């Protein structure tokens, strides 16, 4: 009995928290979309990279709110939080190493395989592309 | 006192007391399963990132994902359809939290109502994805076929479509499993299974899985459509 009484006492604030987090997630998504639309007009590579970085930070913030509040991890015991979060820290190495590797592979190939580099620089005309689609569909 | 220590089994390593995690076994295992699944998705997405970083050109997502159902051919509406899909999944995640919350209060009708809304959200998301796949396929895109050019107008490889269909397909399969799990939960609730057990902990585990599906979409959406 005591247990249910405690739950009912907590009821209003828990529901309020759910709606608050819903608002935050929607807001973050809208900001991401606004940045996505804004990026379409940005040509400067540095500017594009900065916007992409901001979008990734917003993505991590969304992940934090989903895991922390919707999946309730923030309200669990610290031991449990640590057994979940600490292994996931491997992703820091995982992402850094592999993206660095991909970029390095691109640079090395462009440097030592000029034929391949020239092949990837040939522009295809738009009209040709349309014809190509039609033939593959038919 | 002395007899008690004498009879204690010497092989027992942990004799109770405070529970280290204070959660039920099934819920803990669901967390570990989701962690392993996070590594699977992470490996897929990082592989995609590595290939993208190693390519000289890549298609512009705003040119590829620019269509909308029932819109005239050649419409240019990038990000619109996918943002609707994103919101569908966020809202279905919210109704799932509300179902879990109703379960904690032993409110059967609340659980049923919110589970039905979550299932509808899941089916709506799958329908959107089915439409998008069908549309891309009609444009000539599939595993091993990429009709789109790179953003700079050069010829694109099939890496783009291969990764897109593999990763969104794997995610879509998770959504499908989540919908099936939620339907089972709904049937069990309607049959008063949880009412008889005295708790709705099963809904919490299904909820964890469903939120994970939403979480993965946050990453897939960002990596494929936004950047």
Of B53, B93, B215, the CB nearest to A102: B53
Residues A101 and A69 in one domain: no
The CA distance from B27 to B204, in Å, is 8
Structural domain harbouring A113: 89-138
pLDDT tens by residue, B2-48: 445 555 556 666 677 777 888 889 999 999 999 999 999 999 999 99
Question: Is B45 part of any domain?
Answer: yes
- What average pLDDT is seen over chain B? 91
Domain total of chain A: 2
DSSP of A12-25: HHHHHHHHHHHHHH
Which helix (H) or strand (E) segment holds residue A91: the answer is helix A90-112
Contact A132 B46 (CB under 8 A): no
pLDDT tens by residue, A44-95: 999 999 999 999 999 999 999 999 999 999 999 999 999 999 999 999 999 9
Contact B54 A103 (CB under 8 A): yes
Question: How many other C-beta atoms are found inside a 10 Å radius of the C-beta of residue B2?
Answer: 5
The CA distance from A118 to A108, in Å, is 14
Closest CA to B153 of B38, B60, B55: B60
Asked if A85 has any chain B CB less than 8 Å from its own CB, the reply is no
ipTM of the assembly? 0.88
Question: Is B22 part of any domain?
Answer: no
At which of A45, A76, A107 does a domain end? A76
Question: Is A82 part of any domain?
Answer: no
Question: Domain containing B217 — which CATH number?
Answer: 1.20.120.80
Residues A107 and A133 in one domain: yes
Residues A1 and A51 in one domain: yes
Residues A100 and A66 in one domain: no
3-state percent breakdown (helix, strand, coil) of chain A, nearest 5 = 85, 0, 15
Question: How many other C-beta atoms are found inside a 10 Å radius of the C-beta of residue B114?
Answer: 25
Residues A69 and A94 in one domain: no
Residues A93 and A66 in one domain: no
Q: What is the mean pLDDT of the segment spanning B112-127?
A: 97
Tell me which chain B residues have a C-beta less than 8 angstroms from the C-beta of A137: 138-140
At which of A76, A106, A126 does a domain end? A76
% of chain B at pLDDT higher than 70: 93
Structural domain harbouring B217: 40-226
Confidence of residue A5 (pLDDT cuts 50, 70, 90): very low
Residues A94 and A68 in one domain: no
Q: Where are the alpha helices (DSSP H) in B54-158?
A: 61-64, 80-104, 108-138
Whether B173 and B44 have beta carbons less than 8 Å apart is answered as no
Residues A46 and A93 in one domain: no
Q: Which residues contact B177 (CB under 8 A, 6 or more apart)?
A: B209
Question: Is B172 part of any domain?
Answer: yes
User: What's the Cα-to-Cα distance from A65 to each of A60, A76, A121, B90, B212, rounded to whole Å?
Assistant: 9, 14, 43, 12, 12
């Amino acid at each position: 009995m005591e247990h249910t009484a405690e739950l009912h006492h907590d009821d209003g604030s828990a529901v309020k928290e759910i709606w608050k987090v819903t608002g935050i997630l929607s807001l973050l998504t809208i900001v991401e979309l606004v940045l996505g639309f804004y990026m379409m007009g940005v040509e400067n590579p540095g500017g594009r990279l900065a916007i992409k970085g901001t979008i990734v930070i917003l993505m991590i913030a969304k992940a934090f709110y989903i895991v922390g509040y919707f999946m309730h991890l923030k309200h669990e015991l610290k031991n449990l939080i640590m057994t979940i979060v600490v292994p996931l820290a491997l992703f820091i190495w995982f992402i850094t190493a592999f993206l660095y590797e991909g970029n390095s592979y691109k640079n090395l190939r462009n440097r030592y395989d000029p034929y391949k580099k020239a092949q990837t620089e040939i522009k295809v005309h738009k009209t040709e592309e349309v014809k190509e689609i039609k033939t593959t569909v038919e | 006192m002395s007899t008690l220590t004498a009879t204690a089994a010497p092989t027992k390593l942990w004799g109770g007391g405070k529970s280290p995690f204070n959660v039920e076994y099934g819920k803990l295992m669901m967390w570990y399963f989701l962690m392993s699944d996070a590594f699977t998705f992470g490996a897929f997405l990082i592989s995609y990132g590595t290939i993208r970083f190693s390519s000289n050109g890549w298609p512009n997502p705003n040119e590829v994902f620019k269509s909308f159902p029932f819109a005239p051919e050649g419409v240019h509406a990038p990000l619109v359809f996918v943002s609707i899909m994103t919101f569908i999944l966020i809202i279905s995640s919210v109704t799932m939290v509300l179902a879990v919350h109703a379960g904690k209060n032993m409110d059967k009708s609340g659980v049923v109502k919110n589970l039905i809304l979550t299932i509808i959200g899941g089916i709506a998301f799958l329908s959107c994805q089915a439409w998008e796949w069908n549309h891309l396929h009609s444009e000539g895109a599939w595993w091993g076929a990429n009709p789109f050019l790179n953003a700079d107008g050069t010829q694109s490889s099939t890496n783009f479509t291969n990764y897109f269909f593999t990763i969104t397909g794997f995610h879509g399969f998770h959504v499908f499993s989540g919908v099936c799990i939620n339907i089972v939960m709904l049937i069990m609730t309607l049959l008063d299974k949880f009412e008889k057990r005295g708790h709705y902990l099963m809904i919490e585990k299904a909820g964890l899985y469903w939120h994970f599906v939403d979480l993965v979409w946050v990453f897939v959406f960002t990596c494929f459509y936004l950047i």
